[in-house]
Amino acid sequence: MLETLRDYFGFETLRDGQEPVIRALLEGRSALAVFPTGGGKSLCYQLPALMLDGLTLVISPLIALMKDQVDALTVKGIAAARLDSTLDAEEVRKVYDQLSRGTLKLLYIAPERLANEAFRKRLKMLPIELVAIDEAHCISEWGHNFRPDYLKLAKICRSLKIPRVLALTATATPKVSREIRKHFRIAAADHIQLSFHRPNLDLRVTPCDAGDRKRILLDRLREVDGAAVVYVTRQETAEEISTYLAKNGISSRAYHAGLPAEFRADAQAGFMAGDTRVIVATIAFGMGIDKANIRGVYHYNLPKSLENHTQEIGRAGRDGKPAICELLACSDDLTVLENFIYADTPSPKALVNLIDRVLRVGEVFDVSPYDLSITCDIRPMVISTLMTYLEIDGILEATGVFYATYRARLLRTKDQILAGRSTSERKFIERLLDQGEMKRWWLYFYPSKLAEQFSVSREKVVSAISGMEAAGDIILEVSGVRQGYKIKKDPGDLKVLTDRLTDLFQQRELADLARLKQVLNLTSHRGCLTAYLTKHFGETLSEPCGHCDRCRGVLAKPVRRSKSRSASLEERIAVRNLVDERHAALSTPRQLARFLCGLPSPAATRARLSKHDAFGLLSDLPFADVLVIAESA
C-alpha cells in the first residue's frame, strides 16, 4: 500500500483516517468516511482503485471537480476518465473504447447519468470493484442539499452487484450517517469520522441590523489581509455587495448562478489567481474550490443550515494558518429564508396535476422536465424529487435521457451525402432527409416521430443523423431534453398516492425550518461556538476551543425577529389589481403569494412576470401572512 502511495502520489504516509477506510475497502467491505473539508477524502478511493483489479466508478455531483481530478490523475500516469455533458461525441466514444478494452482504472460520472437504461446495461458488463460516492449526504432526503438521483444509488449498486461502496462526505449529522449506512449496508465499525474541530478557525457571531451590515463587513475586510469569501442568499445581494466593496477600494467580484458561465469562470479564475481579493457569492460558489490561503469567510446573510455553514467556513485556512469565520446575524434574513422553504413546497393541486400527466399516458412514455415544471408550476428540482419518489416506490423506472429535436445544417448536397453508401443505407438516409422540416437554413428532425412513421427504433434514426455528422455531411445541434420512463407497477389509488406525496413534502418543509432554527440557536448560544457545531455532527469536545467569541468572553446577544408589519391599503389595492389582470401563472393563492414574496416560479418566469411592478411587493412579510392576503384577494 505505502509503495503504491509513494510511487503514484508522492506521499510517504497516510493522513489520519485514511488507512482504516482503505483497509476496509481492500478487505472487501463498504465504508463511510465523514472527513471535514480538506481532510483527504479523494485518496481513500484513488489509492484502492490502483490496488484492485477492476474499475472504480466515482459518482460526483460537480463537473468541474471531476475534470480537475481526472486531469490530476492522468498527469500522475493513472488511467482515469470522465463522462459528462461537456464531452463531444468523439470524446465519449474514446472513453467507451477504454472501458471495453479494460484499460481504465477510474471513471467519474454524475449521478444523473445512471438514469440512462443503456448506460446501466453497459455497466453490468464491466468488472466494477468499487463505487465511490462523493457528497454522500445528498443520499439522505433529510440532508441539507438533497439531490434526488442520489436516492436511487443504493438500489442501482445492488442491481449491479457492486462488491464494495465508499460513501464520502464532509457534512453528515449522526442521523444522516445512519441513513447512509443503512442504504449501503455499512457496518458501524467501518464508519470513520474525523474531528470537525479546526483549531485555526476563529468563529465569530455578530448580531446586527440590516442597515449596519455593509459598514460592518467593510470594516472587517479592512482589518484582515488576504483573500476572503462573503456568502449571501440572493443573487441581487451578491451584485450589490460586490459593487459596494469595489466602490470602497476592495477588489471584489460577484459569483452566482444567474451569471453566464464565462463570467463565473472568469470571477473564479481571478480569485484563485489572487487578482481578485474578495468573492461575494451565493452557495453556487465553493464546491471543488481548493484555495489554501483564504483568510476569512463572512456570512453576510444567515446560512440555511448548520451543514451549509460548516461546509462554507471549511474553505477558510486550509493552509493551517489562522482564519476568521464570522456570521453577521440579522433577523431580517429569517423571513427571506423561510419564504424560500415555503415556496418549494408544491400545493396538492399541483401534485394532482403532475400525477395525472405522468401516470395516465401509457406504460412507456417520456416527458420534458422543463415543460412539466412550467405546466404544473413546480420547480425543476422538486419535479425531479417527485419522479424519484415514484421510482423508489417501484411505480416508475427511468429508461434514459434523450433530445426531442435535432437540427442540421447541410454542408454537402443531398447527392454528395448519399454517395458511396450501401443501397439500404442510402434509401433510409434519403427518406430521412426528405422528411426533415426545413426552417431557414436548418433541417429539423424529430426522432421519436420519425421512428414511429418509419416503423423503426428511435436509436436507428438518431444513429443515422449522428452518422452524417461524423462523416462531415452536416453540422448538428440538439435541444429539448426529455426523460424516458416505463411504468413498472399499478400505482393504485392516485388520491392516496397524492396525499402521501403531499405529506412527504410537508415533512421536508418542517425539516428545513428546523435546520434554520438550529442556525438561529447558534447565534444565541452562550457556550463555546465550536463545541456547538461539532456536537451537531456527533462530536463532543473535551474542553472549550479557546478561539471563538464565547471563549474570548464576548457575550451572546439573541437575534430577535422584529414584529412583522401589516400590508398597507395601497399594497392591498395593488394585489387586487394584480388579481384582476387574471394571469394564468398566478391563478392560485399559493402562486400569487410566491409572486408577491418575490420568489420566481416556473410559470411566472415563463410568462415574463418578474418585471411586473407587483413582483416582490410584500417580500419583507412572512409567507404565511402573504398567503392569507392572497386567499382573500
Q: What percent of the chain has pLDDT over 70?
A: 98
In the predicted structure, residue 385 carries a pLDDT above the cut 80:
yes
CB 208: neighbour CB atoms within 10 A?
Answer: 17
User: What's the whole-model pTM score?
Assistant: 0.82
The position carrying cell 428532425 is 445
d(CA 135, CA 287): 10
pLDDT per residue as tens digits for the range 228-246: 999 999 899 999 999 999 9
Cell digits for 543?
474542553
pLDDT per residue as tens digits for the range 576-605: 999 999 999 999 999 999 999 998 899 999
- Average pLDDT score over residue span 603-619: 93
CB 150: neighbour CB atoms within 10 A?
Answer: 26
d(CA 46, CA 108): 11
The position carrying cell 401589516 is 566
Q: Which residue has the higher pLDDT, 329 or 558?
A: 329
Please report which helix (H) or strand (E) contains residue 484, including its range: strand 474-487
- Average pLDDT score over residue span 377-388: 88
CB 372: neighbour CB atoms within 10 A?
Answer: 22
Looking at residue 141, what is its pLDDT?
61
In the predicted structure, residue 98 carries a pLDDT above the cut 70:
yes
- Average pLDDT score over residue span 257-282: 91
In the predicted structure, residue 387 carries a pLDDT above the cut 70:
yes
In the predicted structure, residue 143 carries a pLDDT above the cut 70:
no
Looking at residue 286, what is its pLDDT?
67
Looking at residue 273, what is its pLDDT?
92
Cell digits for 633?
384577494
Determine the Cα angle at 369 with ends 619 and 375, to 5°.
60
In the predicted structure, residue 196 carries a pLDDT above the cut 70:
yes
* Residue 514: strand, helix, or coil: helix
pLDDT per residue as tens digits for the range 295-344: 999 999 999 999 999 989 989 998 999 999 999 999 989 998 999 888 88
pLDDT per residue as tens digits for the range 99-110: 989 999 999 998
- Average pLDDT score over residue span 139-162: 80
Strands across the sheet with 128-133, in order?
80-83, 106-109, 55-59, 128-133, 165-169, 31-34, 191-193
Instruction: Read off the pLDDT band of 436 (50, 70, 90).
Output: very high
- Average pLDDT score over residue span 125-135: 94
Q: What percent of the chain has pLDDT over 90?
A: 65
Domains of the chain: 2-193 (3.40.50.300), 201-336+511-536 (3.40.50.300), 348-487 (no CATH), 569-632 (no CATH)
* Residue 148: strand, helix, or coil: helix
Instruction: Read off the pLDDT band of 256 (50, 70, 90).
Output: very high
- Average pLDDT score over residue span 277-295: 84
Q: Which residue has the higher pLDDT, 311 or 433?
A: 433
Ranking 7-11, 311-315, 484-488 by mean pLDDT, the lowest is 7-11
d(CA 242, CA 279): 8
In the predicted structure, residue 212 carries a pLDDT above the cut 70:
yes
